[in-house]
Amino acid sequence: MRNIGPVSRRWLAEIEIYTLADLEQVGPIATYKMIKAMRGGKVSLNLLWALVGALEDIDCRDLPPERKTELRVLLKDSYDS
């Protein structure tokens, strides 16, 4: 998967996400939250950007600021609900 290095790949495997199809089925927000719950402070928002970039087939560094803001809101809302 694009943007996903060896550590992130290992974390994804721990929650049984191996392919883009797996990631798409679970969704990047839920995937990020599961890994964050397991790994705590070791996980930054860069993982969320990488997951979204993988799904959108773009370099995570190219995610526009507006998209990152939208993702932050979705993440916050997912914790609030």
Taking only the tens place, the pLDDT of each residue in 16-61 is: 999 999 999 999 999 999 999 999 989 999 999 999 999 999 999 9
Q: Where exactly are the structural domains of the chain?
A: 6-80
Given a cut of 90, whether residue 81 has pLDDT beyond it is no
**What's the whole-model pTM score?**
0.94
Given a cut of 80, whether residue 3 has pLDDT beyond it is yes
Of the candidate CATH numbers 3.40.50.150, 1.20.1560.10, 1.10.150.20, 3.90.1170.50, the domain formed by 6-80 belongs to: 1.10.150.20
How far, in Å, CA of 35 to CA of 11, rounded?
A: 7
Do 41 and 25 touch, CB atoms closer than 8 A?
Answer: no
